[in-house]
Structure 1
Amino acid sequence: MSPQVFIVIGPAGSGKTSIAQQTAKDHEAAYLDKDRVSGRFVEFALAATGHDPTDRESNDYYRDNLLPLEYETLMDVAGVNLRLGRSVVLDAPFGAYFGDPDYLTRTAESFHWPTSTITVVRVRVPKDVLRTRLIRRGLERDQWKLAHWDEYWSLYGRLECAWSGVEYLDFNNEAPLPVD
């Protein structure tokens, strides 16, 4: 049986990580989280170049220089695992690439992925629930999003993925988090 690819997408705070980790466990797949694979390097590079290491959404330097490297690294590591026969679960927003229908086809070819079934799990969550989750988790990297909420939501909250050659699975994750 050929390895499978699961790509779990959704805005920050949507529950991508929980769903991606459960998917990896259920399929005995390698779990690859973009922030764990390259996040520390990105934060260092942003700080070293005089940029706020927590602001990626409004930072042109990040989007033009570092974001492509993050995703290339993630897809390269996925390719190595797939060639070893190991299914992979990718946990990343991927929003910058949603509008390119051929993104995954090109990427799979560039990084020598073997023929694999690719399932994109779209994690859906309403605007008000997402904002509450970001506030409650209290991460520094969410501060720009919250301070510019309407702008953030209009750019990232309703992005639709246009990738071809994949299976889509929608996951409604709108239940509010339990009260602590």
Structure 2
Amino acid sequence: MTTPKVFIVIGPAGSGKTTVAQRTAREHGAAYLDKDRVSGRFVEFALTVTGHDPTDRESNDYYRDNLLPLEYETLMDVAGINLRLGRSVVLDAPFGAYFGEAGYITRAAEDFHWAPAEITVIRVRVPQDVLRARLTRRGLERDQWKLSHWDDYWSVYGSLECAWSGVRFLDFNNESPLLAAGEI
């Protein structure tokens, strides 16, 4: 059996993570795990029943302190199950809350019993003006806070650098409007 691979596709909302992640999953015959698909409905429900705006996660302390860790733990657990089965995985999520923790991936691999795997982090890069235009064009409710607080959003999420150790980094410049629109 060949060693499974882990591809972690990171970048801000609207950068084209999903397009890049799905293409990577197809090319490598890997399981595609999107954080929002894995746990998004549960998170929206939990935010709603606790009286929070289900579309605002950037400025919501309740979400960041209680739900965000569960989302990522669930994603890493599902990845671990696939890796133990010998299946490569592609993780599609921003991961920004964990960029500053150098040992985050190593710890997650231990905590969720990942089989030995090659780990590649694909950083999807896009200029600020392109990102803002994409978020505006796609018109999703979950992007409204970002757009109405653009300077605050970009000052935090536009400059985040991932400090993870034990991984290989690849940068992907995703300025192409065709790729962002999912037309390829």
Which runs of no fewer than 5 residues in structure 2 stay unpaired?
A: none
In the other structure, the counterpart of 1:148 is 149
Structure 1 residue runs of 4 or more that deviate by more than 4 Å after TM superposition: none
In the other structure, the counterpart of 1:160 is 161
Aligned Cα root-mean-square deviation (Å): 1.1
In the other structure, the counterpart of 1:21 is 22
In the other structure, the counterpart of 1:69 is 70
Give the superposition deviation at 1:158.
1.3
Cα distance between partner residues in 1 of 2:21 and 2:78: 16
In the other structure, the counterpart of 2:12 is 11
Cα distance between partner residues in 2 of 1:36 and 1:175: 25
Normalised by the length of structure 1, the TM-score is 0.98
Give the superposition deviation at 1:56.
0.1
Q: Does 1:174 align with 2:175?
A: yes
Cα distance between partner residues in 2 of 1:99 and 1:145: 21
Cα distance between partner residues in 1 of 2:116 and 2:88: 11
Cα distance between partner residues in 2 of 1:147 and 1:155: 14
In the other structure, the counterpart of 2:132 is 131
Q: Does 1:50 align with 2:36?
A: no
- Paired amino acid for 1:125: V
In the other structure, the counterpart of 1:110 is 111
Which runs of no fewer than 5 residues in structure 1 stay unpaired?
A: none
- Paired amino acid for 1:80: I
Q: Helix, strand or coil for the counterpart of 2:86?
A: coil
- Paired amino acid for 1:73: T
- Paired amino acid for 2:92: D
- Paired amino acid for 2:6: V
- Paired amino acid for 1:129: V
In the other structure, the counterpart of 1:41 is 42
Q: Helix, strand or coil for the counterpart of 2:177?
A: coil
Give the superposition deviation at 1:157.
1.3
Percent identity over the alignment is: 80
Give the superposition deviation at 1:11.
0.1
- Paired amino acid for 1:81: N
Give the superposition deviation at 1:58.
0.1
Report how many residues are paired: 179
Cα distance between partner residues in 2 of 1:61 and 1:67: 9
Give the superposition deviation at 1:174.
1.3
Cα distance between partner residues in 2 of 1:14 and 1:137: 12
